[in-house]
Structure 1
Amino acid sequence: MRRLLSAYLLPLILHACTGADWCYQTQASCESHCKGPDRWSEVNAECGKTRQSPINIVTKKTKLDERLTPLKFTGYQELFDSSVKNNGHSVQVSIPIKATVSGGNLEETYKAVQFHLHWGVSGGPGSEHTIDGEQYPMELHIVHMKQRYSSLEDALKDPSGVAVLGFFYEESSISNRKYDIFTHALRSVQNTNENTTLRKISLNQLILPEVNMTNYYRYDGSLTTPDCTEVVVWTVFENPIPLKSEQLLAFSALKFNDGKAMVGTFRPVQPRNGRVVYRSSGAVVVASAVLLLASIFTAFGLSHLN
């Protein structure tokens, strides 16, 4: 009788642990009825393909590409008012102005659509991309689509229709005052579908002057949430943006659509599958400078010994 009962209950238990919606690993459980990152391919088959993001960028395996010149930005300095929303998976801000990026071997001009972030637990590791295995506390994604498209849906049909700029964050002992208006707005969007107005903010305000915009990596990948569409030209910048621990913690106060604390909002790194990651000439200048200094100190040490 016990065997028969187990045989009957097992399929019901397995069925109860499945669900059509996707979620992050911090949400995934039998009670949540959602599928964590290791099961996203069940939500959309695209998530199981071979050009997925994010990835671990191994710097010594990157390839110099002289065509990765400084990017050209327009409208990034313009102040705008916009809506910031808790969409149940992250916090997202739409970009209502014409802000574009071009150059740097991008095949066309791309216009900014929205930006959102990915973070860890209480300021811990939470970036999506990693550098030589190092995971930063948080990562900003500024999403662009080719300027000639009128909707993101159209851009997602183009193999290179979307360009995302990725920026890391690091913990700092000093508060980044330019982020005060943003972190203050988070208090009004702690629950799913809540939104508030973010006033007088610019894209440059988020990233400058901390980020050296000439030092970056480039590779072809995908969206990092389902549908995981493989249409993204990724540009990941080397230099992180500093935020104080209290500013990083503000993001962990948000809640998922299931009411749980919105933490660990990152997809684990995916196999590179033979893709080449290119580095800009700016990154090479920094690397060369480090090697030059090392050579000078080595030479000085040898001469001192003699």
Structure 2
Amino acid sequence: MITPKIQNLNNLLLEIEYKFKKKLEEVKTLDDVINLEIQFLGKKSLIKDFLNHLKNNSLIEKKNFGKKINLLKQKIILALQTIKEKLKQKSYDEINFQKNINVGLPSFFLPCGSIHPLNQVIEQIEDIFLSLGYEIHDGLELEKELYNFDMMNMGKEHPSRAMQDSFYIDEQTLLRTHTSSVQVKSMLARKSQPLKVISSGKVFRRDNDDSNHSHQFMQLEGFVIDKNINLKDLKQHILFFLETFFNKKPEIRIRPSYFPFTEPSIEVDLLVTPKEKPSFYLEILGAGLIHPQVIVNGGYDPLKYQGFAFGIGIERIAMLKYRIEDIRSFYNSDIRFLKQF
């Protein structure tokens, strides 16, 4: 049975598609195409607004509408690419006609570019968490030691710094070692109100580059601050994310771990089943309940508010989804690799 609320969401999705078709008919220039892309696919687009309408719906409804949204996005992307090529060809024809160029001469094939696979994965993850009511907050790559370490319960003499200290610009400024530096800033800005935030971007570590490690990589941080938050809430969010991202029910293993900014801390391993090789568990993210001291540093009362946080390595999860064996493939600018996406 379709409830009035579901019917309204279906109507809203149809309205977005109708608006796009009407706007597409009005496109005259390449600038119009760019503006249309921002309006329907950007971070503040109509589709992102639609995802916000889903935050209070059931998980099944979110999953069903997620598939419809992805189909609509694919239609929009294809339509924009088609009209863009037509406008480019029209522009070239006009130039050739004006300059009396022999358009019959053979030319080089120039393939269209595409979004980098890591950015594609980030967009997929953002869509999933936006459907759960999360906000997207941006952070600084060049960060103060105060927010990167001190406010995250990692003081100057804390031993956990030994694994992360790197790339200092001066005594108080460094290239951030994790996206967790967004946590306290977001908490201080919200002033003791409930929070559901994700933040992604580059992070930098003192590490030796090999097939599984890089001194620079992408990370997505997520955290929730509210009353009566517990590990069960964290587990449900992780399971929903993994099932939606991999499009199948995941088999995971949760084991205790240690991070200075969470207590208790856990790591989540995913069962990997490669072809013609034995199955094994692979760590995919770290998480836990936010440490009371971090909550205090963010201006919240830990007796009233609790929270959980998780960190996802974008390269690691992309390698699993697309069966990529070497992390360096993402950064070598090899067109043979990139054009597959």
Name the structure where strand makes up a greater proportion of residues: 1
Looking at both structures, which has the greater relative contact order when contacts are Cα pairs under 8 Å and sequence separation is at least 6? 1
Q: TM-score range by the shorter chain?
A: under 0.3
Name the structure where helix makes up a greater proportion of residues: 2
Greater Cα radius of gyration, structure 1 or 2 = 2
TM-score by length of 1: 0.27
